[in-house]
Amino acid sequence: MPDNVSRTVFVLLHGGRHGGWCWQRVARRLRAAGHEVYTPTLTGLGERSHLNGPHIGLDTHIKDLVSVFEYEDVDDAVLVAHSYGGIVATAAMEEIAERVRVMVYVDALMPRSGESLFSIIGPAAAQARIDRAQTDGEGWFIAPTDASYWGVADQDDIAWVNSKTTPQPIKTYRDAVASADRAWEHPAMFIECRPSAMEPLTNPRERAKVDVDFHYHVLNAAHDVMITAPDELTELLLRARGLVSTGQDSPRR
């Protein structure tokens, strides 16, 4: 470990149709700085795509994340969630809140109790995904899309991302978060990636901007910022280690 470094545990959670693989560049930088890093992959995605099926829902993914904390004895962690991963991380906090120091939402969905991904992004965007599942996904999954959708521009990176992305079970988008209350017990950072074509993220971005207990940052980077701008993202994650709550009531509740 480098001199004068306080070791921190980071848990980096990917978004929809991605896997732990997408965090390779950031994880490498954090480990080089002396930190412990976990990059779990949710059931049915990435290297666990052979487990995919219509039965995979939000509860499955919540249990995936909770199990990482329990079986790896993770404690006092910086929990980082990207995109759809924000839904999973928020819900999982009902079981792992005591093990988390700081929450970081990276261009992520930020649910309240009773909300699903579909209810957050709105009926038009939700219906587009349902239609795509009916057309290209046997009615139960959303097929991968070209990496350019997530703002990846480098041709080698596009080819790499396209070779890794996997179908997303639509049940994970339909299922609602039972409770989001405990996620708001911790200081939190929201990182907005701009410009971004991810219009469904407008709602969570606006929520974070008005929340007195969020440290809000903007990166001039693609939605898949961990791939296109790993240095800038790593710098913000290292800064997140020292966040403290403002101690004010939060409208997130």
DSSP 8-state secondary structure symbol assigned to residue 116: B
Residue 246 has pLDDT above 70, yes or no: no
Using CA atoms, how far residue 173 sits from 86, 133, 201, 222, in Å, is: 12, 12, 14, 22
Strands (E), 73-193: 77-82, 100-106, 141-142, 168-169, 188-193
What pLDDT is stored for residue 252 in this prediction?
A: 42
Neighbour tally for 197: CB within 10 Å: 12
What pLDDT is stored for residue 243 in this prediction?
A: 83
Does domain 9-240 sit in CATH 3.40.50.1820?
yes
Kindly report, residue by residue over 117-156, the tens digit of the pLDDT. 999 999 999 999 999 999 999 999 999 999 999 999 999 9
Four-residue CA torsion sign, 164, 91, 124, 170: positive
Percent over 90 (pLDDT), the chain: 82
Active site residues: 83
Residue 250 has pLDDT above 70, yes or no: no
Domain regions of the chain by residue span? 9-240
How does strand 141-142 pair with strand 168-169? antiparallel
Q: How far apart are CA 104 and CA 198, in angstroms?
A: 18
Kindly report, residue by residue over 23-82, the tens digit of the pLDDT. 999 999 999 999 999 999 999 999 999 999 999 999 999 999 999 999 999 999 999 999
Q: For the whole prediction, is pTM greater than 0.85?
A: yes
How does strand 36-38 pair with strand 9-13? parallel
**Contact (CB, 8 A) for 147 and 22:** no
Amino acid letter for position 128: A
Q: Which two tokens stand for residue 180?
A: 């989001």
